[in-house]
Structure 1
Amino acid sequence: MNTTASSRPSWFRTFVPRPAAESRLFCFPHAGGAASAFRGWATGLPASVEVTAIQYPGRQDRYDENPAPDMATLVKEISEAIGPLVDRPVAFFGHSMGGTVAYEVARALPRELRPALVRLFVSARRTPDKCRPLAPEWQSDDGLLRYIRGLGGTGAALLAEPELLPVALPVLRGDFQLIDTYSHVPGAPLMCPVTALVGADDIHNTPADAEGWSRYTTSGFEVCVLPGGHFYTETATEELLELLADRLVPAHRP
C-alpha cells in the first residue's frame, strides 16, 4: 500500500539531534541499506557534527512505499526535500550505491545552497561514468543474492535467514534497478572537495578506481584507503569516524 504525501515519513533520520552543531553530515545508504546503518555514528563523531541519514522508500518505517523507479526520481525527491536542513555547512557521505546518490544530489542542489556543501565523501563506489549494470549471471534472484553475499557485511549475513528474503529481496531488486538503469549525464564538476574512500581488500572498487573521482571536482581531492573489504564501514568504523572528524571539525576539537 502507498501512503499519501501528507502522511509519508520524511526522508531524513537524525538519531541524536544536536541543534547547536556547527555542521551536518548527510549519510546515503548502500543498495538494500537503510538509515539505521548510521545510527551509531552520531555518538562517534564530535558534538559539533549532527548526523542525518537518508531513508529511501521501501524499507523500515517506509516499507509500505514503493521504491523509487529510477535514480533521477530518487535524486529529485531528495534534493527537493533537503533544503530546510541545509541551514549550516553540510557534507555528504555515500556508501556504494549511496555514493552515486550523494553525488547526484550534490549536483541537483539549488544554486543558492551549493556553497553550504563543504565536502563529498564517496565510499566504495566507482565514478559515475564507470557505473555498469550487473552482469547477466547476477540478474536472477539467486544470482543477485550470491552477488550480495560476496560483498560481505551484516546485510549479507541476514540474507541467510529465509524468513527475511520476502522483505529484503524486493528492496534489493528496486535498488539494483536504480543502478542498472543509471546513466551519467556529464556536466560541470563539483565545487567542493571530494574524498574517495575505499577498503584495502575491496575487489569491486580499488584505489585506482577511486582516483577517477579527481575529475569530478574543481576543489581538493584525496583517496583514503582503510582496512577491510567492501563493507570496511562496519569493520573499520573507528578509523573511518576519525577520518571524517579530521575533515569536518577544525583542529578536530571535541
Structure 2
Amino acid sequence: MTAFDSPADSPWIRRYAPAPDASVRLVCLPHAGGSAAFYTKLAKALGPDVDTLAVQYPGRLDRRHDPLIKDLAELADRLVAELVPWTDRGIALFGHSLGAVLGFEVARRLEAMGRAPLTLFVSGRNAPSRHRREFSHLLDDKALIEQVKALGGTDPRVFEHEELVQLALPVIRADYEAVDGYRYEPGPLLSCPVTVLNGTDDPKVSPEDTDAWREHTTGAFDSVVFPGRHFYLVDRHAEVTDAITRRLVDLTSKQRI
C-alpha cells in the first residue's frame, strides 16, 4: 500500500503510515504554504493505533498543476466530499494555522451531514469568531518571504534557491488570501470536543484568542500550551504526539463502553 491509496483514490489524501486496523482516523490539515508531507513524522508516530490521513491541498508538489483554491469555504466543501469515504469509522481532525480554521469548517459540515468528528484539534490559530484580516497576501515578494522566515517552520535552505522560492510564493499567497477572505458565519455550535494547542510565544495568537475557541462547541474544551513560537509543534513533536494520543485513546475507550 502506498501513501496515495484511499477508498476514493483521492489526490487529496496521503497515508504515510497506513493503519487499516485502527479504530480511529486523524485527518491532518497543513498550514498556509504547507503540504501533506509536513505530517509524515506524526503519521509514523501515531501508527498503528491511529490511521493518519494527511491532506494535500491543490497547487503544490505533485498537485502543482491543479488550480489553487483561494476561498476557504470552497476548500472546505471540496475536502469534505473527499473525506466522506473515510468516515466508516471514528474520524478526528487536526489543523495547524490555516488548517485550524479549515478544520473547524470541515467539522461543521461533517456534523451537518450527521457524521460528527470525534474531536477537533486546532493549533496556532485564533478562534473563528476572533478572526482578523492581515492582508499578508498583498505584500510584495520580499516582504512576504521575510514574514514566512520570521514565522519559522520552513527549512532556511529553501530560501537559498530562487527557483524553489518562486514556486512557493504563489502557493503561500493564495493560501494567505484564502485565510484573509474568511468570514465566520454564526451557526450551530459543534458538539465534538475541541482541544487547542499553541506555543507560548506565538506572535499570531494571544491567550484570549485561544480561550475563545470554547465558544464554538457544546462539547468538552481544553487548551495545551507548549514552549515555542508559531511552529512550536516542530520542536515539541514528542509532546504534541503524546497530547494527541492521550485524547484519542480516551475518546475511543469511551466509545467502546
The TM-score normalised by the length of structure 2 is 0.89
- 8 Å contact kept, 1:207–1:225: no
Number of the residue aligned with 1:70: 71
**1:49-100 CA distances to partner (integer Å, 9 max, x unpaired)?**
1110111000011011111131111111001111010111111000001001
**1:115-136 CA distances to partner (integer Å, 9 max, x unpaired)?**
3x11100000011122222247
Number of the residue aligned with 2:52: 51
- 8 Å contact kept, 2:24–2:252: no
> What is the Cα deviation at residue 163 of structure 1?
2.3
Is 1:104 equivalent to 2:105 in the alignment?
A: yes
Report the Cα distance in structure 2 between the residues aligned to 1:251 and 1:35, rounded to whole angstroms. Answer: 25
**1:12-58 CA distances to partner (integer Å, 9 max, x unpaired)?**
11111111001000000000000000011122125221110111000
Runs (4 or more) in structure 1 with deviation over 4 Å come to 135-138
Report the Cα distance in structure 1 between the residues aligned to 2:122 and 2:29, rounded to whole angstroms. Answer: 10
Q: Secondary structure at the match of 1:167?
A: helix
Number of the residue aligned with 1:93: 94
Report the Cα distance in structure 1 between the residues aligned to 2:100 and 2:223, rounded to whole angstroms. Answer: 14
**1:210-249 CA distances to partner (integer Å, 9 max, x unpaired)?**
0000000001001100121100111000000000000001
**1:157-210 CA distances to partner (integer Å, 9 max, x unpaired)?**
523432211110010011011012111111111000000110011121133320
Report the Cα distance in structure 1 between the residues aligned to 2:238 and 2:244, rounded to whole angstroms. Answer: 10
- 8 Å contact kept, 1:94–1:122: yes
**Amino acid aligned to 2:46:** L
> What is the Cα deviation at residue 156 of structure 1?
5.8
Report the Cα distance in structure 2 between the residues aligned to 1:112 and 1:170, rounded to whole angstroms. Answer: 33
Number of the residue aligned with 2:237: 237
Gaps of 5+ in 2: 1-8
Number of the residue aligned with 1:4: none
- 8 Å contact kept, 1:23–1:88: yes
Greater CA drift, 22-31 or 47-56: 47-56
- 8 Å contact kept, 2:136–2:144: no
The TM-score normalised by the length of structure 1 is 0.90
Correspondences of 1:70-219 after superposition (within 5 Å): 70-109=71-110, 111-115=112-116, 117-135=117-135, 139-155=139-155, 158-219=158-219
Number of the residue aligned with 2:41: 40
**Amino acid aligned to 2:221:** F
Q: Secondary structure at the match of 1:126?
A: coil
- 8 Å contact kept, 1:196–1:210: yes
Q: CA 1:65–1:135 in 2, change beyond 3 Å: closer, same or farther? A: closer
**Amino acid aligned to 2:174:** G
Q: CA 1:215–1:65 in 2, change beyond 3 Å: closer, same or farther? A: same
Report the Cα distance in structure 2 between the residues aligned to 1:144 and 1:131, rounded to whole angstroms. Answer: 20
**Amino acid aligned to 1:209:** D
**Amino acid aligned to 2:184:** H
Report the Cα distance in structure 1 between the residues aligned to 2:184 and 2:211, rounded to whole angstroms. Answer: 18
Report the Cα distance in structure 2 between the residues aligned to 1:104 and 1:251, rounded to whole angstroms. Answer: 21
Report the Cα distance in structure 1 between the residues aligned to 2:156 and 2:128, rounded to whole angstroms. Answer: 25
Report the Cα distance in structure 1 between the residues aligned to 2:63 and 2:73, rounded to whole angstroms. Answer: 19
Gaps of 5+ in 1: 1-7
Root-mean-square deviation (CA), in Å? 2.1
- 8 Å contact kept, 1:23–1:89: yes
Q: CA 1:152–1:249 in 2, change beyond 3 Å: closer, same or farther? A: same
The percentage of counterpart residues that share the same residue type is 38
Report the Cα distance in structure 2 between the residues aligned to 1:251 and 1:132, rounded to whole angstroms. Answer: 33
Number of the residue aligned with 2:5: none
Q: CA 1:190–1:136 in 2, change beyond 3 Å: closer, same or farther? A: closer
Q: Secondary structure at the match of 1:27?
A: strand
